[in-house]
C-alpha cells in the first residue's frame, strides 16, 4: 500500500478552518475524557423545545440500550427549516440541478418552509400521524426532501427506498415496516432515460398489501395508472389542504427514519435512527468535516435513497442553514464533464462523491475535467468504499488542481454520520487512509478473539463507546440489533470492517470482513443475491462472493449449481442476470456466473467461501487447506471452469 506521500495541511487551511491540529487534539481529548460534558455542550447546536438535562445513557452490554438527550424535546424539520426562515429566509436552501442541463431551480428557506408545511398537511389528509411509517420511492427531485421533512414535521417515520430497487425489493421494505402510505413520482429521469417509478410502486403494492394511499408527484407528466381511492396526484391533494402546519413536539428518542441496509445474513435490516442525537451528529460532522462556512455552496452527489443522502444532502446541511445541491442526473450525461460543469454553473465550493464515480471518470481521461474551470472548489470528499491511492491522487491533482484537501470519510448506515475522517484544517493526508477519529469516537482494533491490539496493527474495527448519531435498533427486531453488532465483541460496537492502524495512528479501512460486499459503493449482502438466484426454478444452489473490480471496487461472482438434468449456457446466464435484476435491482447484477456441478463444502455441509473467493480472485495458488472438504475434487472443476464471461 502506498504510504509514501503525505500531504500536509495547507497553511491557509490551518489558519482559516474551524479546527487546526492543536484544536483537534484538545477537542478530541476532551470529547473522550468526558463525553457527558462534551456532548452536553454540542447538543446546543440544534434548537430545543424543551432543553435536555440528561445527555448520555448508553450501554452495549449485557444488553444494548442507546439514549441521548432523552428528556429534551425538539423537531427535526423545525431545526432544518423554520429556525432559518427569520434569519436567512431568502437564502437558497436547495439548488436543484436536473438531469437535463437546461433545468435547474433555487429554493429559498422561506419557499422550503412553504413546501414542507403543505406536504405535511397532505400527509395528514391521508391519515398519517405520529409514529406512522411512510415509504418514499422517489427520484432526486426537491419533493423527496420536502417529503422527508414533512414526515419529520408531523412525527411520521420515513423509509426511503432507493429508486433503483426492484418492485420485489420495494415490496419487502413496505411490508417489513407496514407502511400504509407510499410517496413516489410518475417517472424518474436519469441519464436521459425514464424510470417507471409509479408502475414499480403498483407492482410492489400488489405484492406487499396494506398500502392505503399512494401519493404521486408529477415529474415527467407521463400518463400513469391511478387506482381509484388509493392513488392521488400530489398537486391535487396539495390544492385542498391549508398552507400552515405546526411542528409536532418530538421526544429526543422518537424515531426519525428507517433505512434498509444489507447485512451478512437474511433479509435487509431496517436501521432505525431517532430524532435529536442523529441531528446533532449529522449537523456537527457536516460543520467540521466539510469546514462548512456560510458562503459555501455544498454538493453531495449521493442519492437520497442512501444514508449519505439523508445525513449529508438533507439533514446535516439544512440543520446548518447551508445551501445544498441536489442532482438528479448521472456523472456521464450528457457528457463526462457533467460533474465539473455543474460545479462551474453553481460555483460549488465543497464537493463530496464516491470512489466509484472518480474511477469511472478517471477512465475518460483528464481532458473532460480540464475543459472546465472548477475555480470555486476548495474541498473534496470521498465516501462509500476504500479509495485506492491512484484514484485519490487523480482526484487531488486533476479535479482539485492540487489545491483542495480531500476528506476520505469512513462511516456506515448504522453510524448515522462520519466516524473517521480528516479535518481539512488539522489533518495531514495520506492517500487511501480515512485518517483519524471524529470527536467522541473511540475506534479500536481487535483480533479474532477480541483482544484489543495496540500501536500499529491490523484486525477488526470496533467502536468502544456510543456517539449521538448511532442507530438505536433494527426496526422490529432489537435482538437482531444486539446479535449483529454487540455479540461478537462484548461491550463494543462491531463495524463489520477490517482495518489497519499505522505508526501515526491513522486508520486504513481494508473492507468488509463479513459476507457483505460493496459494489460501486452500494452495499449488498451475498445472502440476498444467493436467495434471489435460488428462487429461480432451475437453480438448486448458489454461492456468491465479491472479487476485486477495477471500476466498481468489488464485483459480484456467483457460483450456481443447477437442478439435476439442467445444463448451463450463456442463454441461462443472461436469464439469471435478468432474474436477479428483477428480484433485487440492477445494482445486484452478477458480473460472473459460473455453473458448478458442486460447491466446496465441509463434511458438515458448510460452504467454504474462502475457497470460492480465492478462485474468483484468480488466486488459486493460495487455496489453503482443502483437506476438510467433503469432496476435494470439486475444487479442480471450479478452477477449470472459472470466469466464464456473461
Ligand atoms: O465497508 C465500509 C464502506 O461502506 C460500508 C458502509 O456502507 P453503507 O452502510 O452503505 O454506508 C455507505 C456510506 C456511509 C462500511 O462498512 N465504507 C464507507 N465509507 C468508506 C468505506 N470504506 C472505506 N473508506 C471509506 N471512506
Q: Which atom belonging to ligand 1 lies closest to the Cα atom of 516?
A: 1
Rounded distance from Cα 410 to ligand 1 centre (Å): 6
Average of pLDDT values for 278-287? 99
Rounded distance from Cα 393 to ligand 1 centre (Å): 20
- By most ligand atoms within 8 Å of CB, the mutation choice from 258, 357, 410, 498 for ligand 1 is 410
Residue 4 predicted with pLDDT over 50:
yes
d(CA 126, CA 433) in angstroms, rounded, equals: 48
Rounded distance from Cα 289 to ligand 1 centre (Å): 16
Nearest alpha-carbon partner for 437 in 30, 41, 24, 59:
24
Q: Mind listing the pLDDT tens digit for each residue in 42-88?
A: 999 999 999 999 999 999 999 999 999 999 999 999 999 999 999 99
Average of pLDDT values for 131-137? 98
Ligand 1 close to Cβ of residue 587 (< 6 A): no
Ligand 1 close to Cβ of residue 518 (< 6 A): yes
Which residue minimizes the CA distance to atom 10 of ligand 1? 523
The answer for residues whose C-beta is within 8 angstroms of residue 315's C-beta and 6 or more apart is 76, 80, 278, 279, 282, 283
Rounded distance from Cα 641 to ligand 1 centre (Å): 33
Which residues sit in the known binding site for Mg(2+)? 534, 536, 539
What pLDDT is attached to residue 644?
A: 59
Split at pLDDT 50, 70, 90, the class of 619 is confident
Which residue minimizes the CA distance to atom 24 of ligand 1? 386
Helices (H), 215-329: 234-239, 276-289, 307-309, 316-319
Is residue 60 a contact partner of residue 86, using CB atoms and an 8 Å limit?
A: no
Q: Which atom belonging to ligand 1 lies closest to the Cα atom of 434?
A: 26
The answer for residues whose C-beta is within 8 angstroms of residue 253's C-beta and 6 or more apart is 67, 68, 70, 274, 275, 276, 277, 472
Residue 643 predicted with pLDDT over 80:
no
Q: Mind listing the pLDDT tens digit for each residue in 349-383?
A: 999 999 999 999 999 999 999 999 999 999 999 99
Lowest-confidence region among 218-222, 224-228, 385-389: 385-389
Which residues sit in the known binding site for ATP? 384-386, 408-413, 497, 512, 523
Q: Mind listing the pLDDT tens digit for each residue in 456-495?
A: 999 999 999 999 999 999 999 999 999 999 999 999 999 9
Ligand 1 close to Cβ of residue 434 (< 6 A): yes
Residue 194 predicted with pLDDT over 60:
yes
Mean pLDDT rounded to a whole number for the chain: 96
Q: Which atom belonging to ligand 1 lies closest to the Cα atom of 382?
A: 26
Task: Using DSSP bridges, classify how beta strands 255-261 and 269-274 pair: parallel, antiparallel or unpaired.
Answer: antiparallel
Which residue minimizes the CA distance to atom 21 of ligand 1? 385
What pLDDT is attached to residue 132?
A: 98
Rounded distance from Cα 75 to ligand 1 centre (Å): 28
Ligand 1 close to Cβ of residue 509 (< 6 A): yes
- By most ligand atoms within 8 Å of CB, the mutation choice from 518, 520, 588 for ligand 1 is 518
Task: Using DSSP bridges, classify how beta strands 104-108 and 539-549 pair: parallel, antiparallel or unpaired.
Answer: unpaired
Q: Which atom belonging to ligand 1 lies closest to the Cα atom of 421?
A: 26
Judged by DSSP in three states, 484 sits in: helix
Rounded distance from Cα 107 to ligand 1 centre (Å): 31
- pTM of structure: 0.95
Ligand 1 close to Cβ of residue 512 (< 6 A): yes
Which residue minimizes the CA distance to atom 26 of ligand 1? 410
What pLDDT is attached to residue 631?
A: 85
Rounded distance from Cα 260 to ligand 1 centre (Å): 15
Burial class (CB in 10 A: 0-12, 13-18, 19+), 210: exposed
Q: Which atom belonging to ligand 1 lies closest to the Cα atom of 522?
A: 10
Ligand 1 close to Cβ of residue 303 (< 6 A): no
Is residue 493 a contact partner of residue 525, using CB atoms and an 8 Å limit?
A: no
What pLDDT is attached to residue 326?
A: 98
Q: Mind listing the pLDDT tens digit for each residue in 239-279?
A: 999 999 999 999 999 999 999 998 877 789 999 999 999 99
Residue 124 predicted with pLDDT over 60:
yes
Which residue minimizes the CA distance to atom 25 of ligand 1? 410
Split at pLDDT 50, 70, 90, the class of 3 is low
Which residue minimizes the CA distance to atom 22 of ligand 1? 385
Which residue minimizes the CA distance to atom 5 of ligand 1? 412
What are the strands of the beta sheet with 181-185, ordered from one edge? Answer: 231-233, 213-217, 181-185, 133-137, 157-160, 255-261, 269-274, 473-474
Residue 529 predicted with pLDDT over 90:
yes
Which residue minimizes the CA distance to atom 7 of ligand 1? 412
Ligand 1 close to Cβ of residue 307 (< 6 A): yes
Q: Mind listing the pLDDT tens digit for each residue in 424-459?
A: 999 999 999 999 999 999 999 999 999 999 999 999
Amino acid at each position: 500500500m502506498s504510504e509514501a506521500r503525505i500531504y500536509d495541511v495547507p497553511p491557509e487551511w490551518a489558519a482559516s478552518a474551524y479546527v487546526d491540529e492543536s484544536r483537534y487534539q484538545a477537542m478530541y481529548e476532551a470529547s473522550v475524557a468526558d463525553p457527558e460534558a462534551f456532548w452536553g455542550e454540542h447538543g446546543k447546536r440544534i434548537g430545543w423545545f424543551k432543553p435536555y438535562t440528561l445527555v448520555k445513557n448508553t450501554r452495549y452490554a449485557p444488553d444494548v440500550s442507546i439514549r441521548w438527550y432523552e428528556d429534551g424535546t425538539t423537531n427535526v424539520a423545525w431545526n432544518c427549516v423554520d429556525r432559518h426562515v427569520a434569519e436567512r429566509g431568502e437564502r437558497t436552501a436547495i439548488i436543484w440541478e436536473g438531469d437535463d442541463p437546461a433545468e435547474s431551480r433555487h429554493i429559498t428557506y422561506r419557499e422550503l418552509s412553504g413546501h414542507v408545511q403543505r406536504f405535511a398537511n397532505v400527509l395528514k389528509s391521508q391519515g398519517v400521524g405520529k409514529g406512522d411509517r411512510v415509504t418514499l420511492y422517489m427520484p432526486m427531485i426537491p419533493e423527496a426532501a420536502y417529503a422527508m421533512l414533512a414526515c419529520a414535521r408531523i412525527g411520521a417515520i420515513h423509509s426511503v427506498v432507493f429508486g433503483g430497487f426492484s418492485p420485489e425489493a420495494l415490496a419487502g421494505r413496505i411490508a417489513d415496516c407496514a407502511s400504509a402510505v407510499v410517496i413516489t413520482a410518475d417517472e424518474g429521469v436519469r441519464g436521459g432515460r425514464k424510470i417507471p417509478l409509479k408502475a414499480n410502486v403498483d407492482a410492489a403494492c400488489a405484492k406487499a398489501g396494506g398500502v392505503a394511499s399512494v401519493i404521486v408527484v408529477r415529474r415527467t407528466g407521463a400518463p400513469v395508472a391511478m387506482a381509484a381511492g388509493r392513488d392521488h396526484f400530489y398537486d391535487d391533494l396539495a390544492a385542498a389542504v391549508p398552507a400552515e402546519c405546526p411542528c409536532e413536539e418530538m421526544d429526543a428518542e422518537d424515531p426519525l427514519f428507517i433505512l434498509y441496509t444489507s447485512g451478512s445474513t437474511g433479509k435487509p435490516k431496517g436501521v432505525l435512527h431517532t430524532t435529536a442525537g442523529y441531528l446533532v451528529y449529522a449537523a456537527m460532522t457536516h460543520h467540521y468535516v466539510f469546514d462548512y462556512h456560510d458562503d459555501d455552496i455544498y454538493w453531495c452527489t449521493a442519492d437520497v435513497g442512501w444514508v449519505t443522502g439523508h445525513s449529508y444532502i438533507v439533514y446535516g446541511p439544512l440543520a446548518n442553514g447551508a445551501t445544498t445541491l441536489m442532482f438528479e442526473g448521472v456523472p456521464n450525461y450528457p457528457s463526462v464533464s457533467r460533474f465539473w460543469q455543474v460545479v462551474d454553473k453553481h460555483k460549488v465550493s465543497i464537493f463530496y462523491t464516491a470512489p466509484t464515480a472518480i474511477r469511472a471518470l478517471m477512465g475518460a481521461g483528464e481532458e473532460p475535467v480540464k475543459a472546465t474551470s472548477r475555480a470555486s472548489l476548495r474541498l473534496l470528499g470521498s465516501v462509500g468504499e476504500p479509495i485506492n491511492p491512484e484514484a485519490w491522487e487523480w482526484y487531488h491533482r486533476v479535479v482539485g488542481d492540487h489545491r483542495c484537501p480531500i476528506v476520505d470519510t469512513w462511516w456506515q448506515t448504522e453510524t448515522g454520520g462520519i466516524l473517521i475522517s480528516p479535518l481539512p484544517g488539522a489533518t495531514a493526508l495520506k492517500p487511501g487512509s480515512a485518517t483519524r477519529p471524529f470527536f467522541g469516537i473511540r475506534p479500536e482494533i481487535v483480533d479474532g478473539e477480541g483482544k484489543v491490539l495496540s500501536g500499529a496493527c491490523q484486525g477488526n474495527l470496533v467502536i468502544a463507546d456510543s456517539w449521538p448519531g448511532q442507530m438505536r435498533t433494527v426496526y422490529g427486531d432489537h435482538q437482531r440489533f444486539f446479535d449483529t453488532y454487540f455479540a461478537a465483541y462484548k461491550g463494543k460496537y462491531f463495524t463489520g470492517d477490517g482495518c489497519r492502524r499505522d505508526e501515526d495512528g491513522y486508520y486504513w479501512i481494508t473492507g468488509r470482513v463479513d459476507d457483505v460486499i460493496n459494489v460501486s459503493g452500494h452495499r449488498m449482502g451475498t445472502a440476498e443475491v444467493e436467495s434471489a438466484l435460488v428462487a429461480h426454478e432451475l437453480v438448486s444452489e448458489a454461492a456468491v462472493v465479491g472479487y476485486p473490480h477495477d471500476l466498481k471496487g468489488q464485483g459480484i461472482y456467483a457460483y450456481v449449481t443447477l437442478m439435476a438434468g439442467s445444463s448451463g449456457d450463456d442463454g441461462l446466464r443472461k436469464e439469471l442476470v435478468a432474474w436477479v435484476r428483477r428480484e433485487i435491482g440492477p445494482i445486484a447484477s452478477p458480473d460472473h456466473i459460473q455453473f458448478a456441478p458442486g460447491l466446496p463444502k465441509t463434511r458438515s455441509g458448510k460452504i467454504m467461501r474462502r475457497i470460492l473467493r480465492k478462485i474468483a480472485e484468480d488466486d488459486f495458488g493460495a487455496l489453503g487447506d482443502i483437506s476438510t472438504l467433503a469432496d476435494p475434487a470439486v475444487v479442480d472443476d471450479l478452477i477449470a471452469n472459472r470466469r466464464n464471461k456473461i
